[in-house]
Amino acid sequence: MLAKAELHVHLEGTAPPELVARIAARNGLTIPDEMLGEDGRFHYTDFLHFLRTYDLAASVIRTAQDYRDITYEYLTDVAHEGGIYVELTASPDHAALVGLGDDEHLLGIAAGIDEARRDCGIEARILLSAVRNFGVEQAIRVARYAAQRPHPYVVGFALAGDERFPVSEFGTAFAIAADAGLGCTVHAGEWQGPESVRAALALPVSRIDHGVRAIEDPALVEEIAARGVTLNTCPTSNVVLGVYAAYAEHPLPRLRAAGVAITLGSDDPPYFGASLAGEYTICAEHFGWDDEDLLAVTGAALDAAFCDAELRSDLRARL
């Protein structure tokens, strides 16, 4: 099985409806009516509605044990499809909204990582993410917390959420994280155009999540390639949410041909019917990538990973 690595996946967004329902039940909660459609799948009609549905699911995830279970189930699933390394984007703000302390939240995730490694040999690390639409002050709080290195598995700082809140307002949060030596990544160029990717490049980031709309500005694509910034792309997420009408229109092959380093991610797998292995298969089927091409995608993910050098070289040896 081809070795795979994933740098762009949101932890709460990995929990399928059945797991969210099980967690809600054991917390004595009922799942919000609007969360699921009649087909039993997460229900949303567009990106902003998706974010609200995501928040509804997160609202019943309350304890360190819940986070352990979500982490363990996701990582063991990915290991069974060839995953060797995952960076999980975790959101202290979502945990805080349900009264779960930052340290407890991390301990739950770390337990899931340790148990998945023990059972399946997969490795994982944690990015602490702020949410644009929760505001600048909250982002600074998350960055400060991450900068204290609250757990050895915390290796990076990220910014997700509603892209209409411009990244330029979050410079202080990124400076705090970068000054502490954390790797930094930011969502851009998914819903907003190339100007949002340019704004992202002004931050101390070595990666951009999505970034695909950079394709609309050839000079920008050149700059991304020249600077060696990696785009963590999620083709299925883009097609399901309607950024592109079909895989055939997705710019991933053109970005790659322009020399941009790219990785594959599932973003929020059960919401989009995506999986890490599925993204690899889509690149094979729609873009004609062979095993060597796909292994190079995994290599690019290991190059761009925020883990330490020792783990990176152990993982490279597994390719």
**Contact status: 267 vs Zn ion (CB under 5 A):** yes
Which two three-digit tokens encode residue 133? Answer: 């639409």
**Contact status: 100 vs ligand HPA (CB under 6 A):** no
Annotate each residue in 119-158 with x if it binds Zn ion (CB under 5 A) or - if it does not, as one string. ----------------------------------------
Q: What residues between 180 and 209 interact with ligand HPA by CB under 6 A?
A: 187
Binds ligand HPA (CB under 6 A): choice among 77, 87, 123, 267: 267
Q: Report the alpha-carbon distance of residue 132 to residue 108 in Å, rounded.
A: 24
Residue nearest to ligand HPA (CB): 160
- Output phi, psi for 185, to 5 deg: -145, 155
**Contact status: 161 vs ligand HPA (CB under 6 A):** yes
Which two three-digit tokens encode residue 114? Answer: 């340790």
Instruction: State the nearest-atom distance from the C-beta of 316 to Zn ion, in Å.
Output: 25
Tell me which amino acid residue 137 is: E
Contact 319, 298 (CB under 8 A): yes
Which two three-digit tokens encode residue 103? Answer: 């340290």
**Contact status: 93 vs ligand HPA (CB under 6 A):** no
Instruction: State the nearest-atom distance from the C-beta of 308 to ligand HPA, in Å.
Output: 26
Q: Would you say 267 or 279 has its CB closer to ligand HPA?
A: 267
Contact 266, 275 (CB under 8 A): yes
State the residue for tokens 């795979």. 4
Has 163 been annotated as catalytic?
no
Contact 75, 113 (CB under 8 A): yes
**Contact status: 163 vs Zn ion (CB under 5 A):** no
Residue 27 contacts by C-beta under 8 Å, 6 or more apart in sequence?
Answer: 60, 62, 63, 66
Q: Report the alpha-carbon distance of residue 300 to residue 255 in Å, rounded.
A: 14
Which residue in 6, 123, 163, 190 is the catalytic one?
190
Instruction: State the nearest-atom distance from the C-beta of 130 to ligand HPA, in Å.
Output: 11
- Give the footprint of Zn ion on this chain (CB under 5 A): 267
- Give the footprint of ligand HPA on this chain (CB under 6 A): 10, 13, 54, 160-161, 187, 237, 267-268
**Which residues are marked as active site?**
190
